Every structure is written in C-alpha cells, then in structure tokens.
Amino acid sequence: MKVVAVFGASSPRPGDVSYDVGVQCGRLLAEAGFAVATGGYAGLMEAVSLGARRAGGRVIGVTVPDVFPDRPGGNEHLTEEMRAATLLERIHEMVEVSIASIALPGSLGTATELLVAWNLAYVARFANAVPKPVIAVGEQWQHLVPLLTEELDTDGSLVTLVDTVDEAVAAIVATA
C-alpha cells in the first residue's frame, strides 16, 4: 500500500476547524487507497490519524520518545508505531516510506518537515530519481514558499501550493 506523509501542527484539538480539516485529510487519503504516516502524537497528527482510521486506513505514527519523554506514546488511532531517535530521523523516515508529502498548517516543526521534504525532492534529481510530490496546504505556505524560492534561488515548482486538503489529495491521486 502506498503511504503519504502528512505534517501539521500539534496544537489543534477536537472541535477546532483545523482539527476537522485534518480528519478530512486522513479520510480522503484512506478513501483514495493510501496509508498515512504522521508524527504520531496530538493535534493535526491525531486528526489525520483519526480520519484515516475511520475510513479503514492504515496509520503509521513515527514517534520520537527520547525527544518527547512526557508523551505516553502515539495517539490511539495508529495501526503501527515506528520510533525514531531524533526529530530529523523522524522526518527522514516519514519521507522515506512515503510516495508524497502534505504539509498542513503548522509552526516551526511543520515548516522544518516541509523544508526537508522539499530539499529531498530537490536533490533527487542528482541521483537521477523522480522527486516525490510535496503539497503545501494553506495561506501561510503560499507566502513562505515563494519567499524562500526567491531568497534561496531554488526550485519552487517542487512544492505544489493548494488551498484545501481536497486539492492536496487530488494532486497526489493525479501523480500516484
């Protein structure tokens, strides 16, 4: 089964609009036949996991217990948990097992995940590999990605900017 990595904020809670969007993202991916890989904890990671599980999907949580010793483990919706030693190993593992990445709204951690996925897509060409799709959902990325593209003189076309999770999943379905 093909896996899609989904990154997003850890702060949204049930009842928040962004949490509901995360649930929708997970559901749409599972309904399209994809498994999901998330960071495995709360917030949008939990929301995506919940949506995918409700739709009968496989949910991989890549957790980092040594970094977050106060967290009791992955969220209850995971079908499997993978443990990474560091945050960078976690991001690398999520991108490695996936055919594409989606960045939902988030903060510095989500931005880091987006940038790592983008950089791995960028360097794929040096190994004559096809870059994995990177999709960024929401207004914040529509400001950040063009800024970084210009300031860092990089290939912004490797990140597909969309407004909704429906568009994100449709973009992945079109390339899978």
- Provide the mean pLDDT of the chain: 96
Instruction: Report the pLDDT value the prediction gives residue 32, as an integer from 0 to 100.
Output: 98
Instruction: Report the pLDDT value the prediction gives residue 18, as an integer from 0 to 100.
Output: 96
Confidence tier at 81 by pLDDT (50, 70, 90): very high
Percent of the chain with pLDDT over 90: 94
Using alpha carbons, select from 85, 81, 94, 101 the residue that is nearest to residue 40: 81
pTM for the full model? 0.96
Instruction: Report the pLDDT value the prediction gives residue 52, as an integer from 0 to 100.
Output: 98
pLDDT digits (tens, 9 = 90+) for 1-29: 899 999 999 999 999 999 999 999 999 99
Mean predicted confidence (pLDDT) in 70-80: 90
Instruction: Report the pLDDT value the prediction gives residue 120, as an integer from 0 to 100.
Output: 97
Is it the case that residue 171 has pLDDT exceeding 90?
yes
Is it the case that residue 72 has pLDDT exceeding 80?
no
Angle at 129 between CA 128 and CA 133, to 5 degrees: 140
Instruction: Report the pLDDT value the prediction gives residue 71, as an integer from 0 to 100.
Output: 81
Instruction: Report the pLDDT value the prediction gives residue 73, as an integer from 0 to 100.
Output: 83
User: Would you identify the CATH topology of the domain 3-175?
Assistant: Rossmann fold (3.40.50)
Mean predicted confidence (pLDDT) in 88-114: 97
Is it the case that residue 138 has pLDDT exceeding 90?
yes
| 48 phi-psi bin (left φ>0, alpha ψ -120 to 50, beta other) | alpha
As given in the structure block, the two tokens for residue 19 are 């949490």
Are the C-beta atoms of 98 and 134 separated by less than 8 Å? no
Confidence tier at 176 by pLDDT (50, 70, 90): confident
